[in-house]
């Protein structure tokens, strides 16, 4: 269906994207103060929260502030009439074990939806699939218990990991999606994979991370699945 080289490239992106640990800078905008001595308190953002809970693909490593797929997803939600606030909790290099360690913080935000994008780094490190699956299951269960809908981003691995391991790895996401009745994105990079030959500029020069244009395509992919669990207005 697709060339082995291309699959390896895109899959390696999913996992090696976490090799560095440089967080996005959050740049604050200039504050315009009122002319009167008394300032009115800022209006609280009461929109339901969508948490992007993942590794450097979610974090947006290597692209400008505001160009990660969660940022671009926010823009698409705004222009499509969906009143939600996207919070980016992507951490470069994170594994499912790291995700479990961050659960309490994510849950404290009381998200309405969680885009769970973890497991790729586990796969490239050869972590037993049973361990990865157990961690994902723990996160899905905790998020659902807290009242959040989960959109699970499935992963795959390069062919050199062997068909048996790859099959078990991919099946873990499918099994969990069925068991917990969550929306499954079969492969987060599926639309980049489909367009990569015609648009090599979707990837950064390191051959690992998506460009801003690549992140926009991921945002389109996520939006397509996300609309199954959110409502306009």
pLDDT in tens, 75-97: 999 999 999 999 999 999 999 99
Kindly tell me if the per-residue pLDDT of 117 is higher than 50: yes
Kindly tell me if the per-residue pLDDT of 14 is higher than 50: no
Residue positions annotated with a catalytic role? 56, 206, 209
Token pair for 66: 């505001």
pLDDT in tens, 186-215: 999 999 989 988 998 998 887 678 999 999
H-only helix segments in 21-147: 56-59, 69-79, 96-101, 103-108, 120-124, 129-145
Kindly tell me if the per-residue pLDDT of 19 is higher than 50: no
pLDDT at position 10 is 57
Fill in the DSSP letter of residue 38.
Answer: S
Strand partners, 150: 114
All domains in the chain, ordered by first residue: 4-19+47-226 (3.40.50.1110)
What pTM value is reported for the model?
0.82
């Amino acid at each position: 269906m697709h060339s082995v080289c291309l699959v390896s490239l895109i899959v390696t992106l999913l996992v090696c994207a976490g090799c560095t640990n440089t967080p996005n800078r959050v740049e604050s905008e200039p504050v315009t103060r009122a002319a009167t001595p008394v300032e009115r308190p800022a209006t609280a953002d009461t929109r339901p929260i969508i948490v992007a809970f993942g590794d450097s693909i979610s974090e947006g490593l290597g692209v400008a502030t505001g160009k990660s797929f969660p940022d671009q997803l926010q823009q698409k939600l705004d222009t499509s009439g969906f009143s939600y606030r996207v919070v980016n909790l992507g951490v470069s290099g994170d594994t499912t074990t790291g995700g479990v360690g961050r659960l309490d913080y994510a849950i404290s935000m009381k998200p309405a939806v969680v885009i769970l994008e973890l497991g790729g780094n586990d796969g490239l490190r050869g972590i037993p699939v049973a361990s990865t699956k157990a961690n994902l299951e723990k996160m899905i269960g905790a998020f659902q218990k807290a009242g959040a809908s989960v959109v699970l981003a499935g992963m795959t691995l390069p062919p050199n990991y062997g068909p048996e391991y790859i099959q078990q790895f991919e099946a873990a996401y499918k099994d969990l999606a069925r068991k917990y009745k969550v929306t499954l994105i079969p492969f987060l990079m599926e639309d980049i994979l489909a367009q990569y030959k015609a648009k090599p500029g979707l990837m950064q020069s390191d051959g690992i991370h998506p460009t801003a244009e690549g992140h926009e395509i991921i945002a389109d992919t996520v939006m397509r699945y996300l609309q199954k669990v959110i409502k306009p207005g």
